[in-house]
Amino acid sequence: MSTQSTATRMTIAKALNAGMRAAMERDPKVVLMGEDVGKLGGVFRITEGLQKDFGEDRVVDTPLAESGIMGAAVGMALRGYRPVVEIQFDGFVYPAFDQIVSQVAKMHNRSLGALKVPMVIRIPYGGGIGAVEHHSESNESYFAHTAGLRVVTCSGTEDAYWMMQQAIASDDPVVFYEPKRRYHERGVLDLGEGGGSSLEDAPHALEDAVVRVEGSDVTVLTYGPMVKVAHAAAQAAELEDGPSIEVVDLRSLSPLDVDVIEASVRKTGRCVALSEAQTFASITSELAAHVQEHCFYHLEAPVLRVGGYNIPYPPSRHEEVFLPDLDRVLHAVETVLAY
């Protein structure tokens, strides 16, 4: 592979595809599984072209049976493969929930470390696509609560490419959340002088949080589809000579990168936790609890949470009311500054 530095613009969808392709080229034990991932290339075309290039033995179209898909993947992982399982939509994961929390998450601990379950569970998540029931949910808190699972989510092109490969290479089971309404947004992927030939070229470790926007007055902790909203809020505040907002992209929801989180909040003294998910018993709840426990003497105001309302996900015509937007984020920022 060329050692010349290369940078290109591509969508998150294409970056995820390229990440899986790179992992499959690097390790013949990487196998993709899921409903319509092969000939169709997935409903969002994330796996497009991979069955053609790697064959039906490595890109497997499965029956419409999430529990069966997950059970088969567990067996394959125990036999040395690295299955990458696609759950077609976030709301379809529940038939596989028992397999994930009872087997995938516990096998390594149950065997006292003798067995590993290296697998990636890909879940397109979140709203904003005008879909019907069971197609727009943010259920990441269920899996972040489950000991034994890594839970990560990308927010842009570069992370989509590198985090997918890092997740596949991990010996831990990884639940990989993909912000579906951001699939077709473009970003820059710079493979660096090494041309992306090694995971050592990745700019961040899988569990790292990253400060996306530097600020001094308020920290906004967020992830996945809400990173763009937080970034827009920071820009809007800057244009209006308003508060300086620091945006932290968590990237990893379990484990959390508490060092980056705490350093940012200690600098700004104020914090807003933001996600699409309902706020009750959520990632934002954990963030608020952690910050108030570990940064108490640096806080100038209580931590506020901004998220979806505590109702079942509404019909698509009401999505704009349910999902946090720029105004709700700026209102929370103004509220914590008013203390």
The answer to whether the Cα torsion of 328, 331, 336, 339 is positive or negative is: negative
Cβ contacts of 318 within 8 Å, gap of 6 or more: none
What is the C-alpha separation between 128 and 63, in angstroms, rounded? 28
Report the C-alpha gap between 119 and 108 in whole angstroms: 12
Residues 6 or more apart from 289 whose CB is under 8 A from it?
Answer: none
Residue 333 amino acid letter: V
**Two tokens at 78?**
């125990």
Q: Which of 108, 134, 135, 290 is catalytic?
A: 135
In the block, tokens 């309404």 appear at 181
57, 164, 191 from 158: Cα distances, Å:
29, 10, 9
Active site residue 135: yes
Residue type, 120: V
Active site residues: 135
